[in-house]
Amino acid sequence: MPGFEELYIIIRDKEGRMYPDERVKMLPEVPVAHPHYAEWKVREHSSSRLIRYLSAKKKSLRILEIGCGNGWLCHRLSKIAGAMVTGLDINHIELEQATRVFGNIDNIRFVDEVNQMEADVEIEIIIFSASIQYFPDLEEILQWSLQRLAPGGEIHILDSPFYDTGELSAAGKRTLDHFTALGLPDMARYYHHHPRAALKAFKPILLYSPRSILARLLHRKDPFPWYCIKK
């Protein structure tokens, strides 16, 4: 039976999310005719909000993106003044692409193992962008992340769904149906539906809510919350 990495790449390819290098260089910008245009507009909005927030700190930041994929967000983050950005992923095909496309930028590096990072260097910012759903134990990964953070550091979770408890069963069925339709139902074992309640112990700050009055007034189509957890 294929493991997570192999299944993930097959799914990405079937969904039309494996891009040539020239397209990756331009992300999150895609043509209006692109099949995932609406999704990339969401990613553009959420990443721009994050970058404005981090830039406003006006200090050097060591940033770790966990689940960086092809590196497009690391590229955007590298433009923050004083930022040193590390992208971490176990997906070697996209990680190799990230290194190929963005590896010549001085303040970015890509790794596939935590032990490739300096053990004595604490990180100011850890980012999970559209990746937290691939971790089966939310508490475990957040506790690990907090241990890596410098005092006053922050975890940012964006572009990922969270659910009320009563929504979990239906969400799980939708996911299984989606992967089954693509011919790979086993992928559903690696996609996890985290309840909002599981975040409460970490006292998250909700920096963006799609349910807010402002978001509704502005007709924002960004469907995902943005959570910040501070150490």
pLDDT 10s digits, 88-132:
999 999 999 999 999 999 999 999 986 666 655 789 999 999 999
pLDDT tens readout for residues 198-231: 999 999 999 999 877 766 666 567 899 999 999 9
Q: What is the 3-state secondary structure (H, E, C) of the chain?
A: CCCHHHHHHHHHHHCCCCCCHHHHHHCCCCCCCCCCHHHHHHHHHHHHHHHHHHHCCCCCEEEEEECCCCCHHHHHHCCCCCEEEEEECCCHHHHHHHHHHHCCCCCEEEECCHHHCCCCCCEEEEEEECCHHHCCCHHHHHHHHHHHEEEEEEEEEECCCCECHHHHHHHHHHHHHHHHHCCCHHHHHHCCCCEHHHHHHHCCEEEECCCCHHHHHCCCCCCCCEEEEEC
**pLDDT (mean) for 155-183:** 97
What is the greatest pairwise CA distance in the chain? 48
Predicted TM-score of the model (pTM): 0.95
pLDDT tens readout for residues 49-62: 999 999 999 999 99
**What pLDDT, on a 0 to 100 scale, did the predictor assign at position 169?**
97
Confidence of residue 2 (pLDDT cuts 50, 70, 90): confident
CA distance 209 to 62: 26
Contact yes or no for 76/52 (Cβ under 8 A):
no
Contact yes or no for 42/215 (Cβ under 8 A):
no
CA distance 180 to 52: 39
Question: Which has the closest alpha carbon to 153: 129, 119, 126?
Answer: 126
Average confidence score pLDDT of the chain: 93
Instruction: Give bridge partners of residue 158 from the DSSP assignment.
Output: 129
**What pLDDT, on a 0 to 100 scale, did the predictor assign at position 221?**
74
Percent of the chain with pLDDT over 90: 88
Report the half-sphere exposure of 3 (CA within 13 A, side-chain side): 3
**What pLDDT, on a 0 to 100 scale, did the predictor assign at position 133?**
98
pLDDT at 181 over 70: yes
**What pLDDT, on a 0 to 100 scale, did the predictor assign at position 214?**
65
- Domains with residue ranges and CATH for the chain: 4-114+121-230 (3.40.50.150)
User: Which value, to the nearest 10 degrees, does the dihedral of the CA atoms of residues 26, 31, 36, 38 take?
Assistant: 100
**pLDDT (mean) for 165-185:** 97
**What pLDDT, on a 0 to 100 scale, did the predictor assign at position 139?**
97
**What pLDDT, on a 0 to 100 scale, did the predictor assign at position 6?**
95
**What pLDDT, on a 0 to 100 scale, did the predictor assign at position 196?**
96
